[in-house]
Chain A
Amino acid sequence: MILSWVIAAYAVAGSFMVFRYRLRHYLRYFQQEEYDGKRFLLWVGECNAFDKKTLVVALLAMALTSFVPYHLVITAIAATMLAVTAFSGEDPTTSGKKTLIMTPRAIRIYRLSVVLYSTAIVVGATAALALGRHGAFPVLWFLLLLLSQSVPLWLLLATKILSPGEKRRQRKYSLEAKRILADVDPYVVGITGSYGKTSTKHILGEMLQTTLGTTFWPDKGVNTVMGITREIREKLSPGTEYAVIEMGAYHQGSIQKLCDFTPPQAAIITAVGICHLERFGSEEAIYRGKEELAKAVPDDGIIVCNGDDTGARNIAKGNPKMTTLLYGFDNSKEDLDCWMSSYAVVDSGMTFTIDWKGKEYQGSAPFFGTTALSNGMAAFAMACALGADAEFALGVLCSHEPVDNRLQVKKSGGVTYVNDAYNSNPVGFAAALDVAKALPAKKRIIMTPGMIELGDRQEAENNKAARKAGSFCDYAIVVGETNRKSIAKGLRDGGMPEENIFLCNSRDDAFHNLAIVADDGDAVLIENDLPDLYETKVRF
């Protein structure tokens, strides 16, 4: 009897070791999903991130202990096998593309999950053994089997339990950030738009920092209250004169919340598109969501809006400030304050002429695409409105290195890659196609899974973009099934022969095909790659 308890305890310990190991792995992905339970579960489902090893071991152990007499020996062997897998794996804090960072929050979640799981497993195992009598071990293994697959649930439960405290902590931090911001008191420029806001933020940040004075701008695509809070607490130093804040809109009121947090004196609205249409519900709601930023700017402030975009233009007209500026390419209405009278794609980037307040400025920049130029104009107009020297500001634009994965052109082994891997949208897609069309190439190949999150417009927009691609690309590699039909149809309608369209299920498969098709001298457009999280294969 005592031996049974000892062996059972050994099995429990073995599976506990596996649990700890798995927990850290799941925590890595959970962290990448910003502790968002829904998205995390979606990921678990999508990537089939179940613990297959433990499943097999536990199933076998369950079956054998039920039918074979040596249940203690079997249990001991199975438990040892589990323990070995737990110790032979890699450490998620030092391995993988994006490592797990044990922040205080991650540690709290981890610890509570361990406590919860330990309680469950000890109570469960004791009950199984005490009640199960002869059939105790199969029941125990069944329990261990269930628990081995429950790791994500413990993470979610722990997060849920910790969430009131977390919210309190977040509130404390954001209040602190708000106080720091009030103390430093920089001139705040808010940027929103369905696309282009991150790039615009980086260009404007660089521009103000170089031409006007010390400027603060949050890193990468940080555009939420929590993200900005962290950036302010870590990086906003006294004496900073300007702050450029990107404001993300995921539903109505989210910009308002950000404007209350970092009240803007000036604003840029790059576009009112149909991004996140599903979350907003309607185009009207998106418009109102973006307009919140213009409304938050005081009357003596500055707003700079994209004149090529109907929504952004309407916001400018509906919310005039002391300085209201429109920028864009299409000056047929002759009301643009800053517009690009000409531009061209060259090997090293783009050359262009900006017309600002009736004066022409020539420039050449190391980036590609009309969207980048449009963002550049937004930043240029804002910097000039704030008092920067136009030629100095233009100099910054002309030496601006684009942010990773946003329409970059790179040569690798004779093939030119137009990489527009980040978060595709209809305007960005079209701009990338223009670049791919303008670059010299023997053959042109497009590889894309299409655009997502566009609601009932998704099919039409993908079809439209594909038709354009089909009109000049020679080959297409369509990744995944989501937009397969609409893209393939668009490509055919555009004039691409059926046999030149490759339909691939996975990213690996797509790259394999690409390697076959692409030769020296070809241009490849990679449009909307999948994010990192979904890129790496998960092995459990």
Chain B
Amino acid sequence: MTLIKPLLNIVFNLVTPGSLKLLGSTLVVLQKNKWLKMKKKQIAVLFGGRSVEHEISIITALQLIEAMDTTRYDAIPVYVDQKGKWYCGEKLYDKDFYRTMPGSLKDVAQVTLMPHPRSQGLTVVDKKNKTIPVDVYLLAFHGQYGEDGCVQGLLELADAPYTGCDVMASSLAMNKEHCKAVLKAHDIPVLPGIRIKRDDAQRSFNDVRTKIFATKGLETFPLFVKPCHLGSSVGIGKASDMPSLNAALANAFKYDTEIIVEKCVEELLEVNISVIEGDTPKASAVEIPISSGDALSYEDKYLRGGKNKGKSNTQGMAGLTRDIDPQNLDVAIKEKIREYALKAYDIIGCGGVVRFDFMVDTANDAIYFNELNPIPGSMAYYLWEKTTPRILYTEMIDIIIQGAERRKTKKKGVQEDFGFKALKK
């Protein structure tokens, strides 16, 4: 009894607010530094989403995570399912996970991102609402809601650094008609085309067709029809006569409320090029996607692989046969395409790594801007591996992550808080 009292006294004296605080902060430091090791950056890789290119996005993301520098980054896969719910968990690394959905979803945790600047990371959706800290969001979406500025908008609201194009550039890139119009205004050549709204077609199909033929450059067949907002080959078609135009229009309207009709170049060569951010943006080697050994025709480009593109081809964009830095392509054309690509990257205000698709009319060597992919399939790494100087995939991911952080820091230099002036007078 006599011994216990002094002992208790000592214990009580030790447990002071000061000592507790010290103990707490030591633990925090140790935990943060992972027991004094260099802290790795937490990179949330976002993919999937409510898009027709859902599967291709999964492939891009899994490839990307594999290529990430594990000594510097911890990848946190964040899968957005086709209904738009976000999930996080180890199982997402496994391809089988996606084959066994929805059953497998029970093995991962549902998460969300709160749209305010203090969110600090992803919030687990359960009773505890735990936060998973995230340093940078790496976006690996393709198509609607992920590539068109929607997710980017959410990340802006959360004040979180994210890779690639910002809201404006993303949405501009994903509206084929507006993107063309902006670039055309800056003297980058585009094919004549017109945007048609489904509402108008429903009001009078005939008027719409009249409008198409009244557009300069679209007076005669063949024409090409594609959905305005989709990035993939879904819903596109060539029209060589009136019945096939009707079918192509109807088909495109199944996938989008706005479509564009363009002149169809018959002797066409498609040339793609990637541009990456840096102190000054750099352009990659160009490529000519190849179909069955021949130079690509318009239809081949779009209709190759068809709807099974993502299913049968687990390599995604990287799995296609292609001719990178083709030697038989005129150097002047390559140079011009590089020039256009760098100029367009600047005009649109792109970030991260993007891919521009150009078309060359081989009849007269005319070059046309076709489309801009703000998040290209497989991040277009296959182009950078063949570029001089070479950039490997791992290195490329470094560049875009650093770019995301740099943009965030720069933005922080802008005054946002203006205080209450009118109401608190």
Partners in one complex: yes
A residues neighboring B (CB under 8 Å): 91-95, 99-102, 206, 209-213, 362-364, 389, 391-396, 398-399
Q: Is B303 an interface residue (CB 8 A)?
A: no
Q: Evaluate contact between B205 and A362: CB separation under 8 angstroms.
A: no
Q: Evaluate contact between B254 and A392: CB separation under 8 angstroms.
A: no
Interface core residue of A91, A92, A93, A391 (most chain B CB under 10 Å): A391
Give chain A residues whose Cβ lies under 8 Å from the Cβ of B358. Answer: none
Interface core residue of B204, B206, B253 (most chain A CB under 10 Å): B253
Give chain B residues whose Cβ lies under 8 Å from the Cβ of A398. Answer: 243, 246-247, 250
Q: Evaluate contact between B247 and A389: CB separation under 8 angstroms.
A: no
Give chain B residues whose Cβ lies under 8 Å from the Cβ of A92. Answer: 103
CB within 8 Å for A210 and B254 given contacts A392-B246, A395-B249: yes
Q: Evaluate contact between B246 and A211: CB separation under 8 angstroms.
A: no
Give chain A residues whose Cβ lies under 8 Å from the Cβ of B250. Answer: 210-211, 392-393, 395-396, 398-399
Q: Evaluate contact between B237 and A399: CB separation under 8 angstroms.
A: yes
B residues neighboring A (CB under 8 Å): 100, 102-104, 106, 198, 201-202, 204-206, 237, 242-243, 246-251, 253-254
CB within 8 Å for A206 and B206 given contacts A95-B100, A395-B246: no
Interface core residue of A100, A206, A392 (most chain B CB under 10 Å): A392
CB within 8 Å for A212 and B202 given contacts A102-B106, A206-B254: yes
Q: Evaluate contact between A399 and B248: CB separation under 8 angstroms.
A: yes
Q: Evaluate contact between A209 and B254: CB separation under 8 angstroms.
A: yes
* C-alpha spacing A395/B208, complex, angstroms: 14
- Apart from A101-B102, A394-B246, A395-B249, list 6 A-B contacts with CB within 8 A: A93-B100, A209-B254, A392-B250, A395-B243, A395-B248, A396-B250
Which one of B103, B201, B237, B251 contacts A101 once the chains associate, using CB atoms below 8 Å? Answer: B103
Distance (whole angstroms) from the CB of A408 to the closest CB of chain B: 13
Q: Evaluate contact between B201 and A100: CB separation under 8 angstroms.
A: no
* C-alpha spacing A331/B253, complex, angstroms: 33
Q: Evaluate contact between B198 and A210: CB separation under 8 angstroms.
A: yes
* C-alpha spacing A206/B250, complex, angstroms: 9
Give chain B residues whose Cβ lies under 8 Å from the Cβ of A101. Answer: 102-103
Q: List 27 A-B contacts (CB under 8 A).
A: A92-B103, A93-B104, A94-B103, A95-B100, A99-B102, A99-B103, A101-B102, A102-B103, A209-B254, A210-B198, A210-B250, A211-B205, A211-B250, A363-B243, A389-B205, A391-B246, A393-B250, A394-B243, A394-B247, A395-B247, A395-B248, A396-B250, A396-B251, A396-B254, A398-B247, A399-B237, A399-B247
Distance (whole angstroms) from the CB of A446 to the closest CB of chain B: 27
Give chain B residues whose Cβ lies under 8 Å from the Cβ of A392. Answer: 201, 205, 246, 249-250
Give chain B residues whose Cβ lies under 8 Å from the Cβ of A364. Answer: 243
Give chain B residues whose Cβ lies under 8 Å from the Cβ of A395. Answer: 243, 246-251
Give chain B residues whose Cβ lies under 8 Å from the Cβ of A91. Answer: 103
Q: Evaluate contact between B254 and A94: CB separation under 8 angstroms.
A: no
Give chain B residues whose Cβ lies under 8 Å from the Cβ of A393. Answer: 250
* C-alpha spacing A391/B248, complex, angstroms: 12
* C-alpha spacing A389/B204, complex, angstroms: 8
Q: Evaluate contact between A99 and B249: CB separation under 8 angstroms.
A: no
Q: Which 9 A-B pairs have the closest CB atoms?
A: A395-B250, A395-B246, A93-B103, A399-B251, A389-B205, A94-B100, A398-B247, A392-B205, A396-B250
Distance (whole angstroms) from the CB of A344 to the closest CB of chain B: 15
Distance (whole angstroms) from the CB of B200 to the closest CB of chain A: 12
